[in-house]
Structures are given as C-alpha cells and as structure tokens.
Amino acid sequence: MAINPPSNRIWWKEPIHGVELAWIIIAFLWGVFMFFFMIAWHFIGNQNLSTETYRIMPDRFVEKVEQFAEEYALVDSSGAPVEVEGVPVVAPPAGGDVYMLGRLWEWWPVLELKKDQSYRFHLSSADWQHGFSLQPVNINISVHPGYEHILTLTPTESGEFGIVCNEFCGIGHHQMTGLIRVVD
C-alpha cells in the first residue's frame, strides 16, 4: 500500500516529468561512456596485464619449474646453493622465461631478476587456486592448477618485492609468500 497512491492505477502510461527524463538520459549516457571507457582504458591505461593461458597438467608444470630452478640456481663461492629460508634463489638470463610455482604454502623458487630487462613469467599452481599478488606494485593474478599463465614483466626498480597469496588456500594461507629480487 503506497502512502500517496497514483490517481491513475496504470502508472506506466503517466507522462514522464522533465527532470526525471533528464536524469534517465544522464544515467544512460554515463553508462554508455563508462562501458566504452573501460575498453579504452585497457589499451591506454598501461595497467592491465595481457596474459596468455594454456592448459597443463600440474605435475608437468612442477617438473618444468624444478628443471628451471636446477638450471639457473645461484651458487656461492664454495659451490653451495644460495637459499632464502630453504628456498633456492634462481637467476635466469635476461629476457628469458621465468617459472614460478604456487603450492601449499609457498611461491617457489625465489627469483633474482635484472632491472629494466623483460621476462616471460610462467605461473601455475600444483594443488589449489592461489593468488599471485606482487607487492608493492599491485599486480594480482588468480592462479589455478591445470592452467599456465604467461605474462611479460619488466622490473623498473631494484629491490626486494614480496609475493603474497590473496586467495584463501587453507590453514597456512597467511604464511604463503614468495620473493623476487631485482638487481641492477
């Protein structure tokens, strides 16, 4: 029951007031503008990652990452592998492919990249859906098992960049981190 019911019960046949019509037109035009601006911003905004995604068996991707880590693992002067909290540090050649694996509860391995060099990142998960959130540059990708996500990244600043999982993946989710070092 309305407080002030319309005098004519067939409300859709009532004429539209000029102010109301103006707001309808403004809302429609704003919606059309935003629709096309979202498409344009993908190309002019330089913030959206253009990625490739392929299906892959999780165990096959694990093998690829392990081979990559073995081939490009850093060693110290005594020949011992360089590690950060038990995770090997890997330094791939500039411009090459980089493999990173998300699994309960780590991003593996630690990467050492060169500043101002482009790399093709290959990301996947061995077990659950994980989030790849590179901080503080705010790159966020949902990484799914069975899919290999490939994106091109060019580090423009040197330093250490943390990776956190931003998709809840179980009891150890809050400890799931990784590291990328960028050197000059």
Summarize pLDDT for 114-160 with one digit per residue, the tens.
999 999 999 999 999 999 999 888 788 999 999 999 988 899 999 99
Is residue 109 in a domain? Answer: yes
* pLDDT tens column, 16-33: 888 999 999 999 999 999
Q: Which domain holds residue 105?
A: 52-183
Give the chain's domain count.
2
- Give the count of alpha carbons within 13 A of 41, CB side only: 8
What is the rounded radius of gyration, in angstroms, for the C-alpha atoms of the chain? 25
Query: Which residues have a Cβ under 8 Å from the Cβ of 82 and sit 6 or more positions away?
Result: 73, 74, 75, 76, 88, 89
Q: Does 129 lie in the same domain as 40?
A: no
pLDDT band at 49 (very low <50, low <70, confident <90, very high): low
Q: Does 120 lie in the same domain as 73?
A: yes
Q: Does 129 lie in the same domain as 176?
A: yes
At 134, list the tokens: 């590179």
Q: Does 120 lie in the same domain as 70?
A: yes
Is residue 1 in a domain? Answer: no
pLDDT band at 46 (very low <50, low <70, confident <90, very high): low
Is residue 2 in a domain? Answer: no
Q: Which amino acid is at 29?
A: L
Q: Does 40 lie in the same domain as 107?
A: no
Residue 112 has pLDDT above 80, yes or no: yes
Task: For residues 63 and 75, give the distance between their C-alpha atoms in angstroms, rounded to a whole number.
Answer: 21
Residue 15 has pLDDT above 90, yes or no: no
- Note whether 126 and 57 are within 8 A (CB): no
Q: Does 72 lie in the same domain as 28?
A: no
Q: Does 25 lie in the same domain as 61?
A: no
pLDDT above 90 covers what percent of the chain? 68
- Note whether 132 and 140 are within 8 A (CB): yes
Q: Does 75 lie in the same domain as 166?
A: yes
